[in-house]
Amino acid sequence: MDLSAINPIVLIASLMVASTPILLAAIGELVVEKSGVLNLGVEGMMITGAICGFAMAVETGSPALGFIGAALGGAALSLIFAFLTQVLLSNQVATGLALTLFGLGFSALIGQSYIGVKPPTSATLILGLDAMVFVGIGIIAVTWWVLKYTRVGLILRAVGENHDAAHALGYKVVLIRTAAIAFGGACAGLGGAYLSLIRVPQWTEGMTSGAGWIALAIVVFASWKPWRVLLGAYLFGGITVLQLNLQAAGVKIPVEYLSMSPYLITIIVLVIMSADRTRTALNAPAMLGRSFHASN
């Protein structure tokens, strides 16, 4: 075993790359949950974004257009969820699961002809980092600012805390939530495309392998606070990179046990966060997961 082969600067750069997909998906889901909606379809939207972005980038030769395509693909899929839960008042947990199941099948279907194809390479800015890493941090900063200091953010939070009161004040609850869901879908799509275009970079079926679920866990870890999403994503990215480096360094732990560590650590973090009664209870949006029907 040779741990000296692990270079700290390279490690930090690869940590940022490893955490970006989850960071993007988690900040999108944070906005959705702040509006009072629980969308469990993050995994499905991510993988749809991964293939839409990949296909777009390969066909046009432009990674930037690929990312736009991914955001549109993720948002389009999330609008199915929005229609079902907001207009047809379906159960949010079940609909989110349906979104994930459908997204996995749908992406595999489109992806048939892209297996083994190489995507166009993205330009790097510094330390081998590409623009999307900074776009991700930028989205977090903007989300934080909008939620905290703007009228739009206040309305969004009001809808998430008490939809009946927000409705009585004249805000369009369904419309606001639909917009939040579409934003979440677009962010998840970007996260997925980051995997297929930059991090891996190629298309394989089911390539998100639980990243969407980890993003959901990170929103809980962050107690619905934007900057803590960054922290959570970096923590997770750090563990992923560390276990990959340990695998490469030839530690005497079987590869499979190292590969399961990110999932196990996510569970442990979830347990620690939910054990603290006061904090999670105070920060979770009060209407999370509840349907809104105007005549109620």
Partner 1 sequence: MIRLEKRKQPSQVWSYLTPILAVIATMIAGGIMFWILGKNPFEAIRIIFWDPLFNTQFASYSRPQLLVKAAPLILIAIGLSLGFRAGVWNIGAEGQYVIGAICGAAVGLAFYPMESFIIFPLMVLAGAFGGFLWAMIPALLKIAFRTNEILVSLLLVYVADQLLASMALSTLRNPDGGGFPGSRNLQQYPSAANPELIAGTGAHWGVVAALIAVIFAYILLAKHKLGFQIKLAGQSPRAAHFAGVNTSVIIVVCLGLSGLLAGLAGLFEVAGPAGQISIDFASNYGFTAIIVAFLGRLHPVGILLAGLLMALTYIGGELAQLMLGIPLAAIQAFQGMLLFFLLAMDVLTDYRPVIGKAKVV
Place of tokens 């959705």: 32
Does 168 help bind partner 1 (rule: CB under 8 A)? no
Shortest distance, CB of residue 221 to partner 1, whole angstroms? 10
User: Between 152 and 255, whose beta carbon lies closer to partner 1?
Assistant: 255
Does 161 help bind partner 1 (rule: CB under 8 A)? no
Residues 70-89 close enough to bind partner 1 by CB under 8 A: 80, 83-84, 88-89
The three-state secondary structure class of 125 is: strand
Q: Considering CB under 8 A, how many residues would be counted as binding partner 1?
A: 48
Shortest distance, CB of residue 148 to partner 1, whole angstroms? 26
Distance CA 118, CA 202 (A): 6
Does 90 help bind partner 1 (rule: CB under 8 A)? yes
Distance CA 174, CA 192 (A): 27
Select the span of 4-12, 60-68, 227-235, 274-282 touching partner 1 (CB under 8 A). Answer: 274-282
Sign of torsion over alpha carbons 198, 202, 203, 204? negative
Does 278 help bind partner 1 (rule: CB under 8 A)? no
Shortest distance, CB of residue 280 to partner 1, whole angstroms? 8
| CA-wise closest residue to 222 among 272, 176, 180 | 272
The mark string for 198-237 relative to partner 1 (x by CB under 8 A, - otherwise) is -------x---xx--xx-xx--x-----------------
**Residues in CB range of 241: below 8 A, 6 or more apart:** 11, 14, 15, 18
**Residues in CB range of 270: below 8 A, 6 or more apart:** 217, 220, 221
Distances (CA, A) of 63 to 191, 207, 239: 13, 18, 28
Which pair of tokens denotes residue 161? 């805390």
* Interface ranges with partner 1 (CB under 8 A): 40, 80, 83-84, 88-91, 93-95, 97-98, 101-106, 108-109, 111-112, 205, 209-210, 213-214, 216-217, 220, 254, 256-257, 259-260, 263-264, 266-267, 270-271, 274-275, 277, 293, 295-296
